[in-house]
Amino acid sequence: MSKHTRQEQMEAFGRVLDVMDTLRARCPWDSKQTNQSLKSNTIEEVYELYDALSREDSPEICKELGDVLMHVVFYSIFAREKGAFDIVDVCDRLCDKLKFRHPHIYGQVSAETAEQVEDNWEVLKRKEKGGNRTVLSGVPVSLPTLVKAYRIQDKARHVGFDWERREQVWDKVKEEIREFEVEVEHMDADKAESELGDVLFSLINAARLYHINPDNALDRTNRKFISRFNYLESQTLSKGRNLKDMTLEEMDAIWDEAKKKGL
């Protein structure tokens, strides 16, 4: 796909605004939407974009970005109708924020590495909010728990609350696993749940320290398991058998076939 000029980009965005205004005025479905009616759909669209990004599927990424953009414009229309703000305010606020948080580009601050940029970003975010917010108050409550744990740990890192050496985290991981095993042995479900949370939190911390995205890692494993299990199921059905009638050893043999095929 050829690169479009800035004028073409501006015209394309203008067409989006024109189409959305027309739909809002004339379509029975679009005209009745609100922040509350649309917000669940927005979450779904973002996850669909996430799926396309995970597959590096460029046509789908393009499509899903369009869907997300539609929602951004939709919410701006709702706000404009209430007299709160419009798409110009959204763009202006974004530009102002980006310039403020990149003083190494638009100011006199020095930042030579990505890590320095991230550290400055967190400090500037707190200043931007008036300076009276806590370090962790910027973590959205509704974030998925795995992502939230990573963000909590990362924010704490920016103020120096972190391991001196990343290798130290493994002692913590092992400690949490031992504590979990003890509670499982005692058959205390409540305490076992709490300790399992500590195990997961420590493993996410280890992933962060070794620059591994735990959400991506788990997603890869999920997709790998689905692929191998689908192979197991299809091979079983092709032989006229049912998974429930097979032994674990028989299933493991087919599972190993899937692994050898690279599934």
Mean pLDDT calculated for residue range 163-172 = 94
Mean pLDDT calculated for residue range 115-143 = 71
Give the contacts of 202 (CB within 8 A, at least 6 positions apart): 169, 172, 173, 176
Q: Is the pLDDT of residue 44 over 50?
A: yes
Structure tokens at 169: 């985290």
pLDDT, position 132: 45
Q: In the structure, what pLDDT confidence band is assigned to residue 130 with cuts at 50, 70 and 90?
A: low
Report which DSSP code applies to 130: T
**Cα–Cα distance between 86 and 170 in angstroms, integer?**
50
The mean predicted confidence, pLDDT, of the chain is: 90
Which of 95, 96, 71, 74 minimizes the C-alpha distance to 86?
74
The predicted model scores a pTM of 0.64
Q: Is the pLDDT of residue 49 over 60?
A: yes
Report which DSSP code applies to 5: P
**Cα–Cα distance between 243 and 251 in angstroms, integer?**
8
Long-range contact list for 259-262, CB < 8 A, 24+ apart? 259/228, 261/231
pLDDT, one tens digit per residue, over 76-124 is 999 999 999 999 999 999 999 889 888 888 877 777 787 777 776 666 6
Q: Is the pLDDT of residue 145 over 60?
A: yes
**Cα–Cα distance between 31 and 52 in angstroms, integer?**
29
